[in-house]
Amino acid sequence: MGRALVLSEPLSLWGGLDPATGELIDVHHPQRGAVLTDRVLILPAGRGSSSSSSVLAEAARAGTAPAAIVLGEADLILAVGAAVADELYGRRIPVLLLAPEELATIPDGAMVDVAGDRVTFDSDIRPRA
């Protein structure tokens, strides 16, 4: 499915993701500059703007969206963005919810597979530094 990108802080995609490049652009976020494209985004929570649905759908159209989003907290705004991306462009971005303590077990860079409502990862497969 994709490699995990573990975000240490919540992120609002609006003002936080440039859908033209897939880059994290929130200057207040410690991981500014990370590229979200095709990664499995491990996100403690969405944050802020209600425009994040549009940004996610636009990223899907532009081909810069994450492969999947795994959240520690339910987020209607991201779920709807993903639903519209599927409806308009047939591009599926699974948005799943895990208990925060389960979320914390996924290491950055692990290969994560998302199928149905299950998230599995193999932490032995890590990208080389």
Partner 1 sequence: MRLVVQAAEVLGASRLIPIKSAHVDSCLYHGEATIDFAQRLVDGGAHVRVPTTLNVGAIDQIHPELWHGSPDQAARGRLLMNRYRELGGRPTFTCAPYQLADRPGFGDQVAWGESNAIVFCNSVLGARTERYGDFTDIACAIVGRVPDAGLHRTEARRATLVIRLAADVPRVLREAHELFPVLGTALGRRAGPLVAALVGLPPGVDEDRLKALGAAAASSGGVAMVHVVGSTPEAPTLEEALGGGTPMAELEIGMGELRATRAGLTAGGEDSPLTAVSMGTPHASLAELRRIADAFGTRRVAGTVECLVSTGRDVLAAAEEQGVAARLREAGVELLVDTCSYIAPILRSAGGPVMTDSGKWAYYAPGNIGASVVLGSTADCVRSAISGRVERDASAWES
Binding site for partner 1 (CB under 8 A): 10, 12, 14-16, 19, 25-28, 45-55, 57-58, 60-62, 73-74, 76-77, 79-81, 83-85, 87-89
Report the distance separating Cα 41 and Cα 38, nearest Å: 9
Our CB check for partner 1 shows the closer of 1 and 83 to be 83
Our CB check for partner 1 shows the closer of 17 and 110 to be 17
Q: How far is the CB of 50 from partner 1 (least distance, A)?
A: 4
Question: Does the annotation count 49 as an active-site position?
Answer: yes
Catalytic residue among 49, 52, 54, 123: 49
Rounded (10°) angle between helices 76-89 and 52-62? 30
DSSP letter string, 7-59: -SS-B-STTTEETTTTEE--TTSTTTT-B-TTSEEEES-B-S-TTHHHHHHHH
> Annotated active-site positions, please?
49
